[in-house]
Amino acid sequence: MISVDYLVIGSGVAGLTFAVKIAEQFREKTICIVTKTDEEESNTKYAQGGVAVVLDFQEDSFQKHIQDTLIAGDGLCDTSVVEMVIKEGPKRLTDLICWGASFDLDYNGKLDLGKEGGHSEYRIAHHKDITGYEIETALLRRINQLPNITLLNHHFAVDLITEHQVYKFDPDNISCYGAYILNQKKGNIEIIKAGVTILATGGIGSVYGHTTNPTIATGDGIAMAYRAKAQISDMEFVQFHPTVLYDDKEGQSFLISEAVRGFGAYLKNKNGHRFMLDHDERGELASRDIVSRSIDNELKKSGESCVYLDCTHLHIDDFRIHFPNIYDECISRNIDVEKDWIPVVPASHYLCGGIVVDRNGKTSIHNLFACGECSRTGLHGANRLASNSLLEALVYAHNIYKYLCSHPGQQVSIQIPDWDDQGTHIDKEHIFINHNSKELQALMNDYVGIVRSNALLMKAIIHLDLMYKEVEELYKRSKINTTLCELRNMINVAHLIISQSLERKENRGGYFNIDNISPKKILENYTS
Ligand code: FAD
Ligand code: SIN
């Protein structure tokens, strides 16, 4: 058993930023970060576009960024949270720069600011098209310099420790005492006791078969918090990114950043028509929900497999300077951006909802905080504005740290029972797990996509229920392993997405259910 002051679950921008701040402030406190694969593997590592921050106060203003965020969120953002996050932006970007992350400069030596969908001004600070990698590596470098941080990679958090495991359970008064952690190399479950636990476990993209997220994004933190009875909300607002490189082969997908449209690329159908102008006066730079839905509409009308990003009118040398990674990836797939259109389709990208937190990142469970993509802060409402996610993680990591400076957690003195795996066996049913994961991902693609209906959602929930029962049974009789836990978590997350979708009776932002609109409107939608 390990006992620490702070247990951080996840090593993306949210977890690492919090850990650096608290470790620098309290050199005598112990911080343990657990992460389920190599330490840099995270959604953060793949972020392309950048961090949305107001820096040019001549053209831009906090008010404009606030307004853009509120419009994208379609009336469901918490305005006071939006104001707080956006006004904190410049300071939190400075933190990253102080820790050694570099951002591109323009010819005048000022930060070069890009533009993305839904933004009325140029305000995206970026490091070429690999901003996330730059942030992740800078944070890990800083972590390695701090002796009071222990980073355990290949350690998978299985479940939070609450009264549920310890003694009598009162659903209105739950506290967290740390987590049960699977040491993936040794195969045993370890207890990490902590005065304060921070969930920074990232997104849920892998619940869908087609996603921009790496395979680690299985919603573990949300599922753990849900099982521990934390409040979870806004799960119906799964954001689909409009432009993922279309490839009919299976494998890790590749994002074509929205910044490419901000740079001037056109979205066209096979006939060369710039269809976005038919849907929104902002054209290619409408917010993500509108662009994804318009592409979905275009594909359903035409029966084609993809639409295209046309960059052939852009200055290719500038394109290569701004987007070297995208350029190289296209070349490796025989797409010459200078001459060829890039085939693209939407894919699941980001979860706007998650574990409900207040402005200090506190969840509804005592001593449990959540930060980053797994949390629901109220910033995004029904649809996240591009590049507001890294910003949110940076601001909330800081808020949690500030809160803990004045409310330091207590050491855990209670006895925690060992993980009980009596009567379980080493599971040999890898094919079953693999098969069920694929089935779940197909189900979410087909029934819980960009355009939903009550009938499809009901079909999905019935199917999911069967899967849930089978997997729970297997879980109870098996020795724990990562893929089984991930499948169990993905089923929990899928359940939350579907059930909260069924509860929503009005379409907002990224949520669109044909049963929430009049038949006349449906017809207009598909004939326009
Ligand atoms: P992550 O970075 O995903 O980190 C989660 C961590 O938790 C990982 O280390 C993971 O291994 C670990 N973990 C998960 N479960 C467990 C477990 N059970 N036990 C132990 N460890 C666990 N946002 C922007 O603002 N700007 C962008 O330009 C941008 N581009 C993007 C491009 C792509 C391709 C993707 C996928 C996302 C992009 N986003 C962007 C979104 C943004 O990157 C993420 O929302 C953000 O990085 C999430 O950070 P995080 O720290 O919350 O989670
Ligand atoms: C992108 O670069 O298009 C992704 C930006 C984001 O998800 O905010």
Residue whose C-alpha is closest to residue 16's, from 371, 325, 292: 371
Give the ligand at the shortest distance from the Cα of 389. Answer: 1
User: What pLDDT does residue 517 have?
Assistant: 84
Q: How far is the CA of 10 from the centre of ligand 1 (A)?
A: 9
Q: What is the dihedral of CA 142, 144, 145, 146, to 10 degrees?
A: 100
Does the pLDDT at position 10 exceed 90? yes
- Ligand 2 atom at minimum distance from 239 CA: 7
Cβ atoms of 163 and 139 closer than 8 Å:
no
Which of these is catalytic: 288, 376, 452, 488?
288
- pLDDT greater than 80 at residue 428: no
- 287 CA to centre of ligand 1 in angstroms: 21
How many Å apart are CA 373 and CA 43, to the nearest integer? Answer: 9
Q: Is 257 in the pocket of ligand 2 (CB under 6 A)?
A: yes
Integer Cα distance of 152 and 263 in angstroms: 40
Contact yes or no for 125/168 (Cβ under 8 A): no
Give residue for tokens 């979870």.
232
Measure 47 CA to ligand 1 centroid, in angstroms. 8
Residue of 31, 26, 28, 25 lying closest to 10 (CA atoms):
31
Test site for ligand 2: of 51, 53, 116, most ligand atoms within 8 A of the Cβ: 116
What is 312-353 written as a DSSP string?
TTS-HHHHHHH-HHHHHHHHHTT--TTTSPEEEEEEEEEES-
524: confidence class by pLDDT, cuts 50, 70, 90: low
Nearest to 307 by CA among 344, 274, 352, 348: 344
Any residues with CB less than 8 A from the CB of 155 and at least 6 apart, and which?
34, 35, 36, 181, 182, 183, 184, 190
Pairwise CA distance, residues 10 & 15, whole Å? 6
Contact (CB, 8 A) for 200 and 348: no
For ligand 1, what atom is nearest to the CA of residue 132?
A: 43
**Which pLDDT tens digit goes with each residue over 462-492?**
999 999 999 999 999 999 999 999 999 999 9
Average pLDDT value for residue range 90-118: 97
Radius of gyration of the chain (CA): 22
Of the listed ligands, the closest to the CA of 184 is: 1
Residue type for position 65: H
- SS3 assignment, position 53: coil
Atom of ligand 1 minimally distant from the CA of 486: 18
Could you say which ligand is closest to the alpha carbon of residue 72? 2
Distances (CA, A) of 22 to 60, 91, 134, 152, 408: 33, 17, 21, 17, 11
Residue 527 has pLDDT above 60, yes or no: no
44 touches ligand 2 (CB under 6 Å): no
CB of 114 within 6 A of ligand 2: the answer is no
pLDDT (tens digit, 9 = 90+) per residue, 52-67? 999 999 999 999 999 9
CA dist., res. 253 & res. 183, Å (int): 29
Three-state DSSP class for residue 392? helix
- Within 8 A by CB and 6+ apart from 342, the residues are 243, 245, 256, 308, 309, 310, 311, 330, 335
- What amino acid occupies position 470? E
Q: Write down the pLDDT at residue 108.
A: 94
Atom of ligand 2 nearest to the CA of 129: 2
Does the beta carbon of 239 lie inside 6 Å of ligand 1? no
Give the pLDDT band (50/70/90) at residue 516: very high
pTM beyond 0.85: the answer is: yes
Q: With pLDDT > 90 as the criterion, what percentage of the chain qualifies?
A: 89
The token duo for 114 is 């890009």
pLDDT of residue 1: 87
pLDDT recorded at residue 29: 96
Question: Does any ligand 2 atom lie closer than 6 A to the CB of residue 284?
Answer: no
Tokens 């993509």 correspond to: 373
pLDDT at 226: 98
Name every residue whose Cβ is closer than 8 Å to that of residue 207 and which is 6 or more positions away in sequence: 218, 219, 348, 440, 441, 444, 490, 493, 494, 497
CA–CA dist 301, 278 (Å, integer): 14
Q: What pLDDT, on the 0 to 100 scale, is given for residue 411?
A: 81
Contact status, residue 463 vs residue 404, Cβ threshold 8 Å:
no
Predicted local distance difference test score (pLDDT) of residue 171: 77
Mean of the pLDDT values across residues 71-96? 98
Q: 362: which strand partners?
A: 369
3-state secondary structure 75-110: CCCCHHHHHHHHHHHHHHHHHHHHCCCCCCECCCCC
> What pLDDT score was predicted for residue 426?
79
The per-residue pLDDT for 250 is 73
Q: Phi/psi class of residue 384: alpha, beta or left (left: φ > 0; alpha: ψ in -120 to 50)?
A: beta
Our answer on whether the CB atom of 49 is closer than 6 Å to any ligand 2 atom is: yes
Q: How far is CA 29 from CA 25, 41, 194, in A?
A: 9, 26, 11
Which ligand is closest to the CA of 219, given by its number?
A: 1
Question: Given pLDDT bands bounded at 50, 70 and 90, which one contains residue 281?
Answer: very high
First-to-last alpha carbon distance for the chain, in angstroms, is: 62
Say what the pLDDT of residue 172 is: 79
Q: Mean pLDDT over residues 270-289, rounded?
A: 96
Q: Which atom of ligand 1 is nearest to the CA of 387?
A: 25
Q: Which amino acid is at 148?
A: N
Angstrom CA distances, 127 to 49, 120, 249, 282, 396, stand at 8, 21, 29, 26, 22
Alpha carbons 408 and 190: distance in angstroms, whole number:
25
Closest CA to 257 of 297, 312, 334, 309: 309
Q: Report whether pLDDT(523) > 80.
A: no
| Contact call for residues 273 and 374 (beta carbons, < 8 A) | no
Report CA(447)–ligand 1 centroid distance (Å). Answer: 25
Instruction: Tell which one of 323, 388, 390, 483 to mutate to probe ligand 1, the residue whose CB is within 8 A of the most ligand atoms.
Output: 390
- Tell how far the Cα of 202 is from the centroid of ligand 1, in angstroms: 5
129 Cβ closer than 6 Å to some ligand 1 atom: no
Residue type, 409: G
For range 395-416, the mean pLDDT: 91
Residue to probe by mutation, ligand 2, list 258, 329, 379, most atoms within 8 Å of CB: 258
Give helix 388-406 / helix 79-98 axis angle, nearest 10°.
Answer: 90
| Structure-model confidence comparison of residues 317 and 249, the more confident one | 317
Quick one: pLDDT at residue 167?
66
- Taking the centre of ligand 2 as the mean of its atom positions, its distance from the CA of residue 374, in whole angstroms, is 17
Tell me, yes or no, if 288 is annotated catalytic.
Answer: yes
